């Protein structure tokens, strides 16, 4: 990290205008048709921000109250063989983990007004973010294929259409909504949210009513393996949304509270995901997931089943348009010079073509493979973003850097690649099985967690290695060790250790002089000539003198009096940082008081042996020949001691006192 002023609006940092062209009020040759969203990858201007965080609740609730969520939930019991109750717990865990990610990333939208993938450029760099953009396109196309196939299942059951007509009809409906853009998507999700609640409430009555407590098949790797696998697959389904999270919150005003954005986006995802996922698990105990539409309609009376399938078709449409919209935005973020609406058509067309080829085969097995494969990338990718924006750059929202052509690479991509290597032994699906997963199937699903942890650790270490710690004073031995083990790569300090020692030496003399002055004051007040001062973080905070005579208390020594005041006023942690300055080395009693108080350091002027030479056998002060260092060394915690200092001045306060001249 270099300490340098941010450039003031450099030409290379200026965000591009809408669709890569200069903004214009009228329609130009390259303008989209009326009603189609114009915005591309540029930040949303403040004057175009609108809406409230609660709109995210209906968006993400509607996006998760859909057929794909039901189908993934059904895998838990019908394919993985987990009994209903543990399946629901596993689905809940996976749903919450992914919903937290969606909620966190959504909070960045109002703060920056920027697409999720453009924000990826922060920790990844402009070129380093290209693989993330490519993955998001693939992810969008993949989910388009999944939802298109689910929609086709329904269309064929409802209308009897053939494969090709059903495919084309689904594609046309999906592309129409996605092309119209952000406002239309929010309107569709808002309109469907209430209707789908009613529909799935009806399905819940039949689904939960007919459900069995046990799964129709035994878990191949045991119940623990099945539980972890269901958690991983469920989390992977929800993590798929995180790649788009701020795309749908970037239009909110910058004043939108992050907490409300998090609760709305994460809450909508979690509530819908848990409900529909658990419903899918219940239905999976009584019906096969080979044909998802008949899995549902088989539970219902014919007319009701037709209505429900129609609603499920709409929910599938609503889900697909989100994937198409953000997949198209990812293509723009990757640098393709296309209008957004054209990019939607390209991505949707690719998804339609792939749906043609993927429409035959084992739907459940392919869905499981797709979920795990996307999760292997999304978990490390999400870990980098969370580490970057909620630790490394917490509270910073520098959008100019996201468009800086000089910021080509960051440590995000290497961290993700390291995590992918760490995930390989855990991979467990039909395309590839890692050695660790092959030998111990139960640990395979932990690959996503391993990827998240490794990526976060790698990014943290890499960022610390290029970080600089600026400090006013050269670090002490303890702090230097902490810096070394943290991985921080560079330290810059202003004041050297030797220079500090010279300065603190002057402070030591001033504080000791103040303690000696307190001793002189105690003598004038009719007490023995001793005084003490407590210094905390460089400031004198308490003082005390001797009160043996006036207080008629043989234990009223200056240090003991000061300890009583200190322990009543400060915590033990604060006293550990404090220094007690005293005109004379503490006696055994006062040393014990200092030890038990927790005070960390003692500095004295006149030594105990020097005081003995002055007092002799005076009955007023039968000095014990027991140095305070010996007392402290007998304890279980260290107390730093410095002294004697300022002998002549400290001894002068006692002149004539012990012979009766000062009485």
Q: Is the C-alpha dihedral spanning 650, 652, 653, 657 positive or negative?
A: positive
479-535 pLDDT per residue, tens = 777 777 777 878 887 767 666 555 555 577 889 999 999 999 999 999 999 999 999
* Residues 511, 562 within the same domain: yes
- Out of 463, 481, 511, a domain closes at 463
HSE at residue 68, side-chain half, CA atoms within 13 A, is: 32
22-59 per-position pLDDT tens digit: 333 333 334 444 444 455 567 888 888 888 898 899 88
pLDDT, average across residues 63-74: 84
**Does residue 19 have an active-site annotation?**
no
- Please give, one letter per residue, the 3-state secondary structure of 18-43: HHHCCCCCCCCCCCCCCCCCCCCCCC
1 within some domain: no
pTM, rounded to two decimals: 0.62
Q: Kindly state whether residue 468 falls inside one of the protein's structural domains.
A: no
Could you report the per-residue pLDDT of 367-413, keeping only the tens digit for each?
777 778 888 888 999 899 988 888 766 545 567 778 888 888 888 99
Q: How far apart are CA 455 and CA 453, in angstroms?
A: 6
277 and 319 together in one domain: yes
- Does residue 17 lie in a domain region? no
> Considering the domain boundaries, does residue 37 fall inside one?
no
Residue at token pair 């003399």: 509
Q: What does the angle CA 255 – CA 261 – CA 266 come to, to the nearest 5 degrees?
A: 170
Residue 284 inside a domain? The answer is yes
Q: Is the pLDDT of residue 271 over 90?
A: yes
Cα distances (angstroms) measured from residue 2 to each of 5, 254, 459, 467, 514: 9, 29, 18, 8, 44
Q: Are residues 449 and 525 in the same domain?
A: no
- Domain holding 66: CATH number? 1.10.4160.10
Q: In what order do the strands lie in the sheet with 579-584?
A: 539-545, 531-536, 579-584, 601-606, 640-642
Same domain, 434 and 552: no
Lookup: tokens for 343: 């990019």
State how many domains the chain has. 2
Q: Is residue 190 included in any domain, yes or no?
A: yes
Q: Are residues 428 and 504 in the same domain?
A: no
| 528 shares its domain with 615 | yes
Tell me the CATH number at 649: 3.40.140.10
In a domain, 29, yes or no: no
Q: Which sign does the torsion angle of CA 232, 235, 236, 239 carry?
A: negative
Q: Are residues 299 and 394 in the same domain?
A: yes
Together in a domain, 414 and 536: no
- How confident is the model over 641-656, as a mean pLDDT? 88
Q: Is the CA virtual torsion 379, 383, 384, 385 positive or negative?
A: positive
pLDDT of residue 397: 59
In the set 37, 423, 508, 559, the catalytic residue is 559
The predicted pLDDT at position 587 comes to 92
- 124-172 pLDDT, tens digit per residue, is 988 888 888 888 778 777 777 887 778 887 888 788 777 778 778 877 7
Query: In the chain, what percentage of residues exceed pLDDT 70?
Result: 81
Do 120 and 251 lie in one domain? The reply is yes
Structure tokens at 444: 């395979």
| pLDDT band per the 50, 70, 90 thresholds, residue 173 | confident
d(CA 537, CA 487): 28
- Of 94, 98, 334, which is closest to residue 234 (Cα–Cα)? 94
Shared domain check, 412 and 271? yes
Q: Average pLDDT, whole number, for the chain? A: 80
Does one domain contain both 308 and 359? yes
Highest mean pLDDT range out of 115-129, 175-189, 447-461?
A: 447-461
The residue from 410, 443, 463 where one domain ends is 463
Listed residues 437, 463, 489: the one ending a domain: 463
Give the pLDDT score at 456: 92
User: Average pLDDT, stretch 102-117?
Assistant: 88
81-97 pLDDT tens trace:
999 999 999 999 999 99
Which domain range does residue 117 map to? 46-463
pLDDT (tens digit, 9 = 90+) per residue, 597-646?
999 999 999 988 888 888 777 777 777 778 999 999 888 888 988 888 88
Do residues 417 and 561 both lie within one domain? no
Whether 252 is covered by a domain: the verdict is: yes
Token representation of residue 95: 């749903």
């Amino acid at each position: 990290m270099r300490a340098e002023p941010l450039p003031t609006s450099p030409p290379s940092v200026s965000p591009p205008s809408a669709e890569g062209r200069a903004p214009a009020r009228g329609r130009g040759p390259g303008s989209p048709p009326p009603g189609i969203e114009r915005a591309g990858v540029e930040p949303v201007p403040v004057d175009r921000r609108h809406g409230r965080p609660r709109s995210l609740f209906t968006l993400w609730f509607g996006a998760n109250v859909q057929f794909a969520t039901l189908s993934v939930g059904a895998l838990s019991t019908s394919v993985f063989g987990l009994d209903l109750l543990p399946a629901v717990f596993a689905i809940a865990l996976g749903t919450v983990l992914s919903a937290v990610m969606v909620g966190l990333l959504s909070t960045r939208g109002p703060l920056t007004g920027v697409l999720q993938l453009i924000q990826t450029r922060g920790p990844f760099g402009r070129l380093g973010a290209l693989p993330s953009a490519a993955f998001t396109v693939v992810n969008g196309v993949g989910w388009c294929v999944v939802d298109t196939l689910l929609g086709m299942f329904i269309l064929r059951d409802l209308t009897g259409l053939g494969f090709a007509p059903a495919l084309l009809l689904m594609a046309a409906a999906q592309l129409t909504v996605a092309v119209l853009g952000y406002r239309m998507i929010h309107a569709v999700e808002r309109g469907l949210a209430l209707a789908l609640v009613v529909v799935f409430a009806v399905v819940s009555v039949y689904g939960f009513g007919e459900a069995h407590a046990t799964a129709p098949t035994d878990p191949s790797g045991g119940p623990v393996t099945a539980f972890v696998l269901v958690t991983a697959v469920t989390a992977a389904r929800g993590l798929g949304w995180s790649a788009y999270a701020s795309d749908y919150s970037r239009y909110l005003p910058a004043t939108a509270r992050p907490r409300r954005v998090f609760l709305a986006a994460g809450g909508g995802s979690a509530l819908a995901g848990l409900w529909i996922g658990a419903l899918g698990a219940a239905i999976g105990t009584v019906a096969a997931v080979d044909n998802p539409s008949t899995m549902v309609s088989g539970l219902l009376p014919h007319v009701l089943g037709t209505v429900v399938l129609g609603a499920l078709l709409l929910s599938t449409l609503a889900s697909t348009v989100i994937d198409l919209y953000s997949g198209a935005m990812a293509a723009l973020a990757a640098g393709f010079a296309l209008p957004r609406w054209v990019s939607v058509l390209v991505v949707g067309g690719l998804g339609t073509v792939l749906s043609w080829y993927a429409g035959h085969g084992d739907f459940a097995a392919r869905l499981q493979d797709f979920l795990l494969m996307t999760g292997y990338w999304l978990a490390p990718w999400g870990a980098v973003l969370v580490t970057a924006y909620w630790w490394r750059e917490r509270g910073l929202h520098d959008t100019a850097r996201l468009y800086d052509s000089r910021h080509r690479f960051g440590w995000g991509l290497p961290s993700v690649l390291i995590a992918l290597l760490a995930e390989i032994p855990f991979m467990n699906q039909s395309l590839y099985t890692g050695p660790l997963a092959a030998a111990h199937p139960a640990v395979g699903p932990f690959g996503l967690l391993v990827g998240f942890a490794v990526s976060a650790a790698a990014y943290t270490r890499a960022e610390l290695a290029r970080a600089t710690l600026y400090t006013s004073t050269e670090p002490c031995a303890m702090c230097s060790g902490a810096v070394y083990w943290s991985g921080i790569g560079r330290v810059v300090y202003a004041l050297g250790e030797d220079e500090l020692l010279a300065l603190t030496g002057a402070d030591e003399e001033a504080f000791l002089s103040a303690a000696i002055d307190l001793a002189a004051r105690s003598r004038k007040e009719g007490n023995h000539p001793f005084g003490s001062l407590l210094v905390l973080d460089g400031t004198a905070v308490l003082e005390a003198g001797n009160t043996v005579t006036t207080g008629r208390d043989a234990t009223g020594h200056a240090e003991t009096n000061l300890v009583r005041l200190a322990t009543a006023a400060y915590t033990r942690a604060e006293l550990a940082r404090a220094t007690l300055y005293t005109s004379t080395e503490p006696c055994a009693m006062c040393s014990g008081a200092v030890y038990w108080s927790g005070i960390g350091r003692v500095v004295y002027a006149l030594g105990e042996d020097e005081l003995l030479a002055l007092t002799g056998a005076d009955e007023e002060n039968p000095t014990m020949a027991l140095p305070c260092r010996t007392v402290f060394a007998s304890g279980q915690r260290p107390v730093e001691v410095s002294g004697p200092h300022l002998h002549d001045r400290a001894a002068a306060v006692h002149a004539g006192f012990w012979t009766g001249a000062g009485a």
